[in-house]
Amino acid sequence: MTGLPGTPALELRGVSCTFVSKDAPGQRYTAVQGVDLTVGAGEFVSVVGPTGCGKSTLLNVAAGLLAPSTGEALVFGRRLDDRSAFPDGINTRAGYMFQADSLMPWRTALGNVMAGLEFRGAPDAKAVAEDWLRRVGLGGFGDRYPHQLSGGMRKRTSLAQTLALDPDIILMDEPFSALDIQTRQLMENEVLALWAGDGDERRAAPSSAPPPSGGGRAAAGGSRGRKAVLFITHDLDEAIAMSDRVVVMSAGPASRPIGEFAIDIPRPRDVAEVKVTPRFLELHAAIWAVLREEVLKGYEQQLKKAA
């Protein structure tokens, strides 16, 4: 089930999501309205917008965790509500990483990475999981429990957990926002390197472990090409440094994309280094010109809600 050439990995068409209002029960609240959003195969797209504008809502639609009130979500050209392609409506081509850790506290790091593989019945779950822990820099930490790991190490474990399942699409919802800035930059570079498929070359740590026999390993990088990434963040710097394209959402209600910017900064990128380049600053100024007013509107709304 690979897409046709040119078929986007992910496409939202005219997506609107209306909820029962949290603030005024009985009333309806339209979070996003008429959203068109495309992520090409192998493309890294970030969505930025003020808090509460509907970024997580869109990600949940893309994941198949939330059915849109109107509009449709397509994955490699197949509708998510097409039960012959997606029996539970869940986007089975995607892996997720959310802001909060999703690690099981009673399982070791290795056990956590293995869990999804075991669930799928992968015969070489342990070898694939060990390999992925090594690739995210946690070789030798497999026997630690989540509470014995730092925040950054738990994120690495989550990343290994997501990538070990070899998804074609990665959905990330502010995955690094709880990390300190240095750890965050390390993780961002890590994700870019793994996404580009040069994780092994860069790390090149000698390993005595035999290569796993499964397909999990080749999958990360080159064999099938890059994964499509939909990256949600409220941090414009992060969005520009990581992405091929940045989409700006308006403040809610009825939020929708109001700007789209191609990020023509050459790769490979070091997220800390690109931030001081003239092109980055230019792009930042151009995008901020669109985003600024929406952030102010969003901030006023938060204040009103709190009042």
Ligand X SMILES: Nc1ncnc2c1ncn2[C@@H]1O[C@H](COP(=O)(O)OP(=O)(O)O)[C@@H](O)[C@H]1O
**Using rule CB under 6 A, residue 243 touches ligand X:** no
User: Binding residues for Mg ion, how many (CB under 5 A)?
Assistant: 2
* Residue 162 touches which of ligand X, Mg ion, none (Cβ within 5-8 Å per kind): none
Among 16, 57, 108, 158, binds ligand X (CB under 6 A): 57
Among 19, 90, 180, 201, binds ligand X (CB under 6 A): 19
**Using rule CB under 6 A, residue 22 touches ligand X:** yes
Least Å distance, CB 231 to ligand X, is: 13
**Using rule CB under 6 A, residue 252 touches ligand X:** yes
Extract the tokens encoding 238. 């992060």
> How many other C-beta atoms lie within 10 A of the C-beta of residue 142?
20
Quote the radius of gyration of the chain (alpha carbons, Å): 20
Binding segment for ligand X (CB under 6 A), chosen from 17-25, 79-87, 236-244, 268-276, is 17-25
* Residue 216 touches which of ligand X, Mg ion, none (Cβ within 5-8 Å per kind): none
Among 16, 33, 56, 157, binds ligand X (CB under 6 A): 56
Least Å distance, CB 300 to ligand X, is: 14
Among 16, 33, 46, 56, binds Mg ion (CB under 5 A): 56
Binding segment for ligand X (CB under 6 A), chosen from 50-58, 94-102, 122-130, 220-228, is 50-58
Least Å distance, CB 214 to Mg ion, is: 34
Residues that bind ligand X (CB under 6 A): 19-20, 22, 29, 31, 49, 51-57, 252
Residues that bind Mg ion (CB under 5 A): 55-56
